[in-house]
C-alpha cells in the first residue's frame, strides 16, 4: 500500500459525507462540496495528521515566494497538479511490503521475540515497568489488538513527532518529548476548508531560506537525495548520547519527518468489517517491532512550535504543562515575550512569526495543542485551545500594544499567585498542589482578557502614545474581583469553626492588601487607590 496512490485518509465533506481519499485529493470539489475536517476518533490523531499534511505539501508543493503562496491561497492547485507534485516522493510513502516503509526502520526484522502489541504506538499506553508491576489500573495494557491503516498511520506519525521516550534507550522526538504545536487556523472563513488550514502553515521558500540559512540546498532541492528528507529511505543513523544529529548537518525538511524511534509494523489484509465497514479488504496493523537506540535529534528548530530562550545554546521547544493552555501564554506564542518575573523569554513559532510579517490581510487565529507529560514520560493529558491573533500595519503601534499586554499579564500573574497563597494560608494544612486555583483564575478571566486586547489595539492604532490607563485600571478591577470570588468559593465553602475563622479572615485581608499593593501598581504602571480592609 502506498500513502500517495491509495485512498486511506478519512475526511468529512461540507455536506457531512465521510470517505477515504488520497492526500493529493485535498482540494477536490473545493467550490461545491469541500473537505472541512479529518475524521479521526482521537484529537491527538487529528492534530498529528494535520501536521502530516502540512509536512507533505511543504515538501512537494512549497511556493518559492510569498506572492506565489498568496496566489495558491486565492486559487488553490487542482488535485491533479498535487498528484503530480507528490509522485516524485511516492517511493518514500510505501506503508508495507519489501524495501523502505513510511516512518519504519529499514533494517529491522519482524522477529516474534521482539513483537509488541500495536497499542505500543499509543503515547498513553502503559510502559513495560508499569505492566510488569501490575500497576496499569486506569489505562489497561493491550487495549487495542489491531488498527485500520488510517489510525495506524496517525499513531505512528504521532509517536515519532511527539515521542517522550518509550522507556530505556528510546529517543525523544525531534522537538523533545510532548512538544507544543501552534498552527495558524482560518478565522470566519466560509466552510472552514481543510486545504486553507493546511496551506496557512506552509512556508514559502524565501522564508525558509532566512529561517534555516539554506546554502547547501539552494537549487530548489532538485539534487537532494530522498533519504536526506525521509530518513527511513536509508539505514538508520544511530546516534549516541554524546553525539546527536544536528540540524546544521541535515536537510531542513527533515524537521517535518523526524524518525527518532526504530520500529516496524506488521500488516495483514483481509475482510476487516469487524473493525469498520469502510475498511473492508483494507490493510490493518496487528503488532509492531520496536528497538531502542534510534536517532537523537539535537538543536533543531521546528517551524510549527514556539521556543524558549531561542537562539541560545540551551533553547528548548515549549511544552504544555499542568493547568492547560491559557491566555497567560498568548503573548509569547503570538508576538514573542521577554522574561516575565523569573521566567525565560518565549519566541513564537517561525511560521506564525513569518506569516505576521507578510501582511496578507487573511484573518487567522492560533490553534495550539499537544500532550502534557510530567516526570519525562508520564502522560497527564492532551490539551488544545484556540486563541485570537492581532495584526498591525504600524510597528510602533504593535510595540505599544505589546507593552500594555505585558502589563496585563504581569498583574494577572501576581494576582493569581496572591490568590493561591491566600487559599493555602486559609486552609493552613498542606493540601498538596494548588495548581487548580491558578487554572480557575486564568479560565475565569480569559474572556475579559481577549476583550481588553481588542480595546487596547483600537486605542494604540489611533494614538501610539496612548497609555490606556483607564483600561489597565479596569483590568485590575476584573482580576481582583475574580481573585476574591475564587477565594470565597474555595474557602467559605469549607467547614467553618471558631478555630479557623480568624485564620480565614487574616488570609482574606492579606489577599486584599496584596492585590492592591505597590507591586501590582508598578506592574500596571498606574496609580491605584488602596482599598480599605474589612474590619
3-state secondary structure 223-271: CCCHHHHCHHHCCCCCCCCCCCEEHHHCCHHHHHCCCCCEEEEEEEECC
| Residues 15 and 140 reside in one and the same domain | yes
- Which of 250, 273, 298 lies at the terminal end of a domain, its last residue? 298
pLDDT at 244: 86
| Residues 281 and 412 reside in one and the same domain | no
| Residues 276 and 399 reside in one and the same domain | no
d(CA 325, CA 136): 28
| Residues 264 and 411 reside in one and the same domain | no
| Residues 278 and 423 reside in one and the same domain | no
Least confident of 232-246, 361-375, 407-421: 232-246
Task: Calculate the alpha carbon distances from 441 to 82, 152, 368, 517 in Å.
Answer: 47, 39, 20, 19
| Residues 399 and 264 reside in one and the same domain | no
The answer as to whether 338 is a domain residue is: no
Residues of the chain with pLDDT > 90: what percent?
Answer: 60
The answer as to whether 381 is a domain residue is: no
| Residues 35 and 152 reside in one and the same domain | yes
Higher pLDDT: 130 or 414? It is 414
d(CA 2, CA 24): 13
Vertex 428: Cα angle to 427 and 434 (nearest 5): 60
pLDDT in tens, 419-444: 999 998 888 756 567 778 999 999 99
Neighbouring C-beta atoms of residue 313, cutoff 10 Å: 6
Tell me which residue range forms the domain holding 508: 393-535
| Residues 291 and 404 reside in one and the same domain | no
Vertex 60: Cα angle to 57 and 62 (nearest 5): 70
pLDDT at 190 over 70: no
pLDDT at 178 over 80: yes
Least confident of 12-21, 271-280, 325-334: 271-280
Vertex 53: Cα angle to 49 and 28 (nearest 5): 110
| Residues 289 and 409 reside in one and the same domain | no
Task: Calculate the alpha carbon distances from 172 to 32, 297, 479, 511 in Å.
Answer: 43, 8, 39, 43
Please give the average per-residue pLDDT across 289-295, as a whole number: 90
pLDDT at 143: 66
Among 390, 402, 329, 399, residue whose Cα is nearest residue 365:
390
pLDDT at 426: 86
Higher pLDDT: 167 or 347? It is 347
pLDDT at 342 over 60: no
**For residue 410, what pLDDT band results from cuts at 50, 70 and 90?**
very high
Range list of H helices, 32-78: 43-60, 66-74
Ordered DSSP codes for 279-334:
GTT-EEEEEEEEES----EES---TTS-EESTTSTT-EE----TT-S-GGGHHHHH
The answer as to whether 306 is a domain residue is: no
pLDDT at 227 over 80: yes
Mean of all residue pLDDT scores within the chain: 86
Q: Is 33 exposed, middle or buried (0-12, 13-18, 19+ CB in 10 A)?
A: middle
d(CA 74, CA 293): 46
pLDDT at 253: 94
Q: What is the DSSP letter of 140?
A: -
| Residues 261 and 406 reside in one and the same domain | no
pLDDT at 398 over 90: yes
pLDDT at 217: 44
pLDDT at 461 over 60: yes
Least confident of 64-78, 147-161, 354-368: 354-368
Domain count, the chain: 2
d(CA 222, CA 143): 45
pLDDT at 136 over 90: no
pLDDT at 151 over 50: yes
- Which of 273, 298, 323 lies at the terminal end of a domain, its last residue? 298
Residues of the chain with pLDDT > 70: what percent?
Answer: 85
The answer as to whether 387 is a domain residue is: no
| Residues 412 and 294 reside in one and the same domain | no
The answer as to whether 72 is a domain residue is: no
pLDDT at 484 over 70: yes
Please give the average per-residue pLDDT across 508-529, as a whole number: 87
Task: State the cell numbers at 78.
Answer: 487542482
- Which of 298, 325, 342 lies at the terminal end of a domain, its last residue? 298
pLDDT at 270: 59
pLDDT at 478: 97
The answer as to whether 477 is a domain residue is: yes
Q: Are 256 and 309 in contact (CB under 8 A)?
A: no
The answer as to whether 409 is a domain residue is: yes
The answer as to whether 17 is a domain residue is: yes
| Residues 142 and 247 reside in one and the same domain | yes
Please give the average per-residue pLDDT across 164-188, as a whole number: 87
Please give the average per-residue pLDDT across 470-485, as a whole number: 96
Please give the average per-residue pLDDT across 32-50, as a whole number: 95
pLDDT at 218 over 50: no
- Cell 512538544 belongs to 179
Amino acid at each position: 500500500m502506498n500513502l500517495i496512490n491509495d485512498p486511506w485518509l478519512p475526511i468529512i465533506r461540507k455536506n457531512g459525507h465521510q470517505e477515504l481519499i488520497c492526500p493529493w485529493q485535498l482540494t477536490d470539489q473545493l467550490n461545491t462540496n469541500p473537505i472541512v475536517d479529518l475524521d479521526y476518533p482521537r484529537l491527538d490523531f487529528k492534530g498529528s495528521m494535520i501536521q502530516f499534511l502540512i509536512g507533505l505539501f511543504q515538501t512537494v508543493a512549497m511556493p518559492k515566494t510569498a506572492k506565489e503562496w498568496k496566489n495558491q491561497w486565492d486559487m488553490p492547485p487542482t488535485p491533479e497538479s498535487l498528484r503530480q507534485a507528490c509522485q516524485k516522493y511516492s517511493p518514500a510513502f510505501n506503508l508495507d511490503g519489501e524495501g523502505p516503509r513510511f516512518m519504519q526502520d529499514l533494517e529491522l526484522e519482524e522477529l516474534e521475540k521482539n513483537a509488541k502489541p500495536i497499542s505500543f504506538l499509543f503515547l498513553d499506553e502503559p510502559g513495560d515497568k508499569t505492566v510488569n508491576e501490575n500497576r496499569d489500573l486506569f489505562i489497561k495494557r493491550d487495549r487495542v489488538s489491531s488498527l485500520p491503516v488510517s489510525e495506524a498511520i496517525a499513531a505512528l506519525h504521532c509517536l515519532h513527532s511527539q515521542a517522550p521516550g518509550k522507556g530505556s534507550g528510546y529517543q525523544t522526538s525531534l522537538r523533545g518529548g510532548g512538544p507544543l504545536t501552534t498552527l495558524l487556523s482560518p478565522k470566519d472563513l466560509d466552510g472552514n476548508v481543510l486545504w486553507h488550514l493546511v496551506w496557512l502553515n506552509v512556508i514559502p521558500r524565501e522564508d525558509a531560506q532566512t529561517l534555516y540559512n539554506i546554502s547547501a540546498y539552494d537549487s530548489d532541492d532538485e539534487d537532494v537525495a530522498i533519504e536526506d528528507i525521509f530518513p527511513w529511505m536509508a539505514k538508520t543513523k544511530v546516534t549516541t548520547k554524546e553525539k546527536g544529529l544536528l540540524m546544521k548537518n541535515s536537510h531542513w525538511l527533515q524537521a517535518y519527518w523526524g524518525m527518532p524511534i526504530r520500529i516496524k509494523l506488521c500488516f495483514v489484509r483481509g475482510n476487516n468489517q469487524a473493525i469498520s465497514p469502510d475498511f473492508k479488504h483494507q490493510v490493518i496493523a496487528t503488532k509492531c517491532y520496536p528497538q531502542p537506540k534510534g536517532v537523537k535529534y539535537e538543536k533543531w528548530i521546528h517551524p510549527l512550535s514556539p521556543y524558549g530562550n531561542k537562539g541560545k545554546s540551551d533553547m528548548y521547544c515549549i511544552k504544555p504543562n499542568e493547568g492547560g493552555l491559557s491566555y497567560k501564554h498568548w503573548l509569547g506564542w503570538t508576538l514573542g515575550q521577554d522574561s516575565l518575573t523569573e521566567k525565560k523569554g518565549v519566541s513564537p513559532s517561525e511560521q506564525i512569526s513569518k506569516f505576521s510579517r507578510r501582511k496578507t490581510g487573511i484573518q487567522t487565529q492560533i490553534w495550539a495543542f499537544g500532550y502534557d507529560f510530567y516526570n519525562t514520560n508520564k502522560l497527564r493529558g492532551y490539551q488544545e485551545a484556540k486563541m485570537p491573533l492581532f495584526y498591525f500595519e504600524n510597528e510602533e503601534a504593535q510595540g505599544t500594544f505589546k507593552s500594555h499586554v505585558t502589563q496585563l499579564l504581569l498583574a494577572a500573574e501576581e494576582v493569581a499567585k496572591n490568590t493561591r497563597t491566600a487559599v493555602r494560608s486559609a486552609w493552613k494544612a498542606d493540601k498538596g498542589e494548588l495548581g487548580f486555583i491558578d487554572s480557575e483564575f486564568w479560565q475565569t478571566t480569559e474572556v475579559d482578557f481577549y476583550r481588553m486586547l481588542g480595546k487596547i489595539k483600537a486605542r494604540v492604532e489611533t494614538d501610539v502614545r496612548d497609555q490606556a490607563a483607564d483600561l489597565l485600571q479596569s483590568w485590575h478591577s476584573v482580576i481582583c474581583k475574580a481573585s476574591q470570588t475564587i477565594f470565597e468559593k474555595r474557602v467559605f465553602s469549607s467547614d467553618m469553626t471558631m478555630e479557623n475563622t480568624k485564620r480565614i479572615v487574616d488570609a482574606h485581608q492579606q489577599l486584599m492588601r496584596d492585590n492592591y499593593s505597590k507591586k501590582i501598581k508598578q506592574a500596571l504602571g498606574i496609580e491605584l487607590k488602596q482599598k480599605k480592609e474589612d474590619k
